[in-house]
Amino acid sequence: MSKVVASIMCADQLNLAKELRSLNEAGIDWLHCDVMDGQFVNNLAMGPYVLEPIIETQKFTTDIHLACVNPEKYVSMFVQAKPDYITFHIETVKDPSKIIDQIHASNCGAGIAVSPETPIESIFPFLDDLELVLIMTVNPGFAGQPFRHHVLDKIARLNQELSSKITRPLIEVDGNIYAETAKAISQFGADLYVVGTSALFNKKTGSYRDKVQAMEQSIN
């Protein structure tokens, strides 16, 4: 069954402990944690001191998404927090296998992220070594961007490539995911749907539980 994943960057940062309790009560047990360096994307987010206590609660499966150049540096910083997955961008490295090995050496699951304009075929040589593939449906860096519908074809091609494999990585999608876009994606196949401000953290549109249930109906 597919899961709704909360993008914790979009939560109320002044009340993170309360937000985590509310997410847990709403049935969320996966968190997507964006780390941005101001170079790969024109934004900054979230440091080890913020994410470590979140991970230490042990109430969530955590995926740290490194939207950063020099991901090997950030892998070294964040493995100490013991997240479940660390995901880096294919666009930022010359030797993805080296970063995958670095992540695995720290007993974390390894993921590769693919930006909207990057051919999905660029990650095919590494699929057997991955636990997660993150397909960005907007350009990484900021919430609220338009959904890139051409990415649906990339999801279809990835699933076709994975269809003959005995073991396969999880497919995660991130970027303007709400009921309508999630329903479109579900027809092609994804495991993890990252939701942020529009689908979850907008406090004017109902409770977290109601919104999570609505998303679950869209993707399952």
Per-residue confidence (pLDDT) for residue 120, from 0 to 100: 98
Whole-structure pTM value: 0.96
Per-residue confidence (pLDDT) for residue 22, from 0 to 100: 96
Q: Catalytic: 34?
A: yes
Burial of 196 (0-12, 13-18, 19+ CB in 10 A): buried
E strand residue ranges, the chain = 3-7, 30-37, 44-45, 61-67, 85-89, 109-114, 132-136, 170-174, 192-195
Per-residue confidence (pLDDT) for residue 141, from 0 to 100: 76
Among residues 34, 37, 84, 128, the one annotated as catalytic is: 34
| Residue 67 pLDDT greater than 80, yes or no | yes
Q: Hunting for tokens 């999570």 — which residue is that?
A: 212
Q: Catalytic: 174?
A: yes
- The rounded distance, in Å, linking the Cα atoms of 195 and 152 is 17
Domains of the chain, with CATH numbers? 3-219 (3.20.20.70)
Among residues 37, 95, 174, 191, the one annotated as catalytic is: 174
pLDDT digits (tens, 9 = 90+) for 7-50: 999 999 999 999 999 999 999 999 999 999 999 999 999 999 99
